[in-house]
Chain A
Amino acid sequence: MDAKFDKLINEVTNENNKDYTIQELLDQLLKDDSWEPDPGKRFQTVMMLKSKLNNA
């Protein structure tokens, strides 16, 4: 990534969130059957959630 974007990226990154990505959290959600046992429904829900996050 070009260093000219460092300032922007630093503004959305803090000590709390610097060690994970949104994609990692979504992947974890996809594997986690504690909130939805049906893998098909899990996949559909994660896709819907991802779309909401992208448009947030």
Chain B
Amino acid sequence: MNVKLFNQRIKNIVDAAAFKEPEKVPVGFEGMYWQYGLTGATLKELNEGDYPFEDHVKRYCRYLNKIEFDYTMNIGGYEAYDAYLALGSDKYPMGRDDCTVQHNQVGYHFMTDEEYELLIAEPAYFMNEYWPKRNVPAFKEPRDKAYAMLKEAAKCVRRSADFESEVCKVGVRDYSIVPVLGMTASVPLNEMKAAGIFDQSDQPEELQYGSRFAMYMSTLDNIHDTYRGMLDTFADLSDNRETLDAAIAAINRVKFEEFKKMPPQMPEPNALPMCGCIFHISAYISLDDQMKYWFEDFRRMLLPWAEAGKKIYMKGEGSFMHVLEPFREFPKGSIIIQLDSDDPFEAKKVIGDHQVICGGFPLALLHLHDLQKCKDQVDRCFNELAPGGGYMFNMDKPLLSPSDGDIGLLRDLYGYINEKAKK
């Protein structure tokens, strides 16, 4: 393993976040199922067919020989579609290309007003018992059959987690890629450290890859994504706030009880792995609601980590420029804001003197198959966003399906990006 390169890449991230110009601007890449365009077999074939597990990992990692990058949020995770299938659920069906797992929200039957009352009165029962029995076909079956289906689903979840862990190890060991989020990487990386594959003891603590992190998702996002759906959540925000607030308080009580059972997690000074948080509903609500339903809990939970030196990676979906200003309350350079639909050059003006802007390249540009146009956008990113630090290069969206990006174009483009990223 090239430990020197791995350490330098961490230092580049930390320098960029400290608003110092790094030796090289960190270059990120995010893909999920796109990699199956290079595997010579589909995800379904590799996961369910006669291919050995090791062969699946090896084929999936072929893209790492084609595209060079410094960091990633998701290095090998696929949604365990086969676990849902084993439970009789169509929530995450396989797409027609047998590579891209879809999120089937069309057929959702969201929580009714009567169920809202049940959630508020009996939140633990509602979340842990009622909701799975209502939605998962396996739990309409007698105990033995339901258990057999659940066990099959557990094997699928395990295989998916093992796959992600193995891909992470290959990415770190053979390509020195830095996985920024602890959810993917803290266990495999610490296993590798324990096995003597790499040693960072000569590095300052801040630059060593640590083991602790926290993840934040607001309870309003939870209600929006899972229980109430977009339209009814918006209706609640408009004229049913008392019920919505009662539901949030009820869910938070359950979460707090669960939290009390976990071992205490003291913040550590290592910048990586980063804490994570997700923006879903923030794109659609006012700044006042963002403060009430999202930011206050976020601050309570993650400010101690940021003050200890930990970085926070924010991944959003949609446009959330209107809710960025409050992140000035966090220490300078503690939050990496991965932009989605927002204009990165405008975001730089709003918050880019205090928190790190991550992104800059619209995935849609790849579909023009015009390398020069892509290079022009890269030039603009490095000319306008990189000076003075506070910038990490990435695309605005991950490459999901094999058809999302031509490998030849991406290889040439990333060659150019990596050259431009150097001082």
**CB within 8 Å of B: which residues of A?**
1-2, 4-5, 7-9, 11-14, 16-17, 19-23, 25-26, 28-29, 32, 34-36, 41, 44-46, 48-50, 52-56
Contact = CB atoms under 8 A, between A and B. Distances in A.
Given A1-B122, A32-B151, A17 B158 contact: no
Given A5-B118, A12-B134, A29-B150, A22 B129 contact: yes
B131 interface: yes
Given A13-B133, A17-B140, A54-B127, A2 B157 contact: no
B161 A48 contact: yes
Interface in B188-233: 225-226
Nearest to A34: B151
Nearest to A53: B132
Contact of B128 (A16, A19, A22): A22
Contacts of B127: 54
Most buried by B among A25, A32, A35, A52: A52
Given A2-B121, A49-B83, A8 B115 contact: yes
A13 B412 CA distance: 58
Contact of A16 (B132, B140, B153, B161): B140
B142 interface: yes
Given A1-B125, A8-B114, A46 B154 contact: yes
A17 B125 contact: no
Given A17-B140, A48-B161, 11 more contacts: A5-B117, A12-B134, A13-B133, A14-B140, A20-B143, A22-B132, A26-B150, A29-B150, A46-B154, A49-B83, A56-B87
Dominant SS at the A interface?
A: helix
B19 to A, nearest CB: 37
Q: For the side of the interface on B, what is the size category?
A: 35 or more
B298 interface: no
B155 A35 contact: yes
A33 to B, nearest CB: 11
B151 A56 contact: no
Contact of B151 (A1, A8, A29, A54): A29
Contacts of B150: 25-26, 29, 49
Contacts of B146: 16-17, 20, 25
Interface in B123-165: 125, 127-136, 139-143, 146-147, 150-151, 153-155, 157-158, 161
A22 B118 contact: no
B356 to A, nearest CB: 29
A13 B130 CA distance: 9
Contacts of A53: 131-132, 136
